[in-house]
Amino acid sequence: MSTNTQVSNELPLPAAKPRIKKKNPYIDIWYRLLKNKLAVVSLGVLVLLVLTALLADVIAPYPANEQNLTNILQAPNALHWLGTDAYGRDILSRIIYGSRISLQVGFVAVTFSVTLGGIIGAIAGFYGGSTDNILMRFMDILLAIPGILLAIAIVNVLGPGLVNVMIAVGIASLPTYARIVRASVLSIRDQEFVEASRAIGESNFSIIRRNVLPNCLAPIIVQATLGVAWAILSAAGLSFIGLGLQPPTPEWGAMLSEGRQYIYEAYWVTTFPGIAIALVVLALNIFGDGLRDAMDPRLKQ
């Protein structure tokens, strides 16, 4: 009896291994952050602040600098929810427009500090030796001066104004980012992937840009979040003592300074701008702490 069945001498192919899907670390960080209820609430406050600043022209009930001398120092009422100041200007509208100034100072100053401080820290940590000593000793000199005093000194030299305040606050926080980046680079520069990049002939600039700095992002992001709060608070302090933005610009610190002489007869003039500053700084600090915990590799277990 014949058969068409052919016996193959070939060995059976091994079964394909199931492909393991790599987990996105950023998604993991996001889920960790969502477990922190205070951090989520703080993030909501910050998102609301950003939307308020962007839509100030739409949601503000009055122009920021519109004066009405018949409504001087009115208590909160149906027409002016947070009252009016000594010039009859609506405090709610000025707080809304002031959020633009505070966010602009915070983000621009921190971006300046992160960029320049990151470059200084990366160069100092990667090259070491005399380059490290010169750069970091200069950072130590800046770090020895309290940040707000250094900012006051810089604004005194440059003069008051929005741009000068951002420069002063940025320089005052520069050493912090330089030291953070330097510490991260020192722990990364001798890793195998950096040595492999050197072996294939990559330049030092390319190694720093492509291999070193991306691995320093986690501590920089956390510190930048906290740094925005410090920048907003410092800018408000400079405006309060007359070295920041000048009247009639609706800036929270300047509003506190203008209303302090009426604090007993018209508490709302200083209370509500102060609450705005405290709320934003608190939200940024809580969110920064939650982000730090979410990005901490020791908590992944």
CA distance 33 to 24: 15
- Specify the pLDDT at position 182: 92
54-62+78-299 carries CATH number 1.10.520.10? no
The predicted pLDDT at position 208 comes to 78
From the number of C-beta atoms within 10 Å of its C-beta (0-12, 13-18, 19+), residue 289 rates as: middle
Q: What is the C-alpha to C-alpha distance for residues 26 and 32, in angstroms, rounded to an integer?
A: 10
The amino acid occupying position 265 is: E
Distance CA 208, CA 84 (A): 54
User: How far from 110 is each of 9, 175, 212, CA to CA, in Å?
Assistant: 70, 12, 21
The predicted structure's pLDDT at residue 301: 45
d(CA 230, CA 291): 17
Rounded distance between C-alpha atoms, residue 287 and residue 137, angstroms = 32
The two structure tokens encoding residue 13: 């192919």
Report the alpha-carbon distance of residue 90 to residue 49 in Å, rounded: 19
Q: Which residues contact 66 (CB under 8 A, 6 or more apart)?
A: 89, 90, 93
- In the prediction, which pLDDT does 152 show? 93
Give the dihedral of Cα atoms 285, 286, 287, 290; nearest 10 deg.
120
Which pLDDT score is estimated for 19?
56
Q: Domain coordinates of the chain in residue numbers?
A: 54-62+78-299
One digit per residue, pLDDT tens: the chain, 301 residues?
Answer: 444 545 445 555 555 555 555 566 678 878 888 888 999 999 999 999 999 999 999 999 999 999 988 889 999 999 999 999 999 999 999 999 999 998 999 999 999 999 999 999 999 988 888 999 999 999 999 989 998 999 999 999 998 888 999 999 999 999 999 999 999 888 887 778 778 877 887 887 888 777 777 778 888 888 998 899 999 999 999 999 888 888 888 999 999 998 888 888 899 999 999 999 999 999 999 999 888 888 775 554 4
pLDDT of residue 30: 84
CA 85 from chain centre, in angstroms, equals: 31
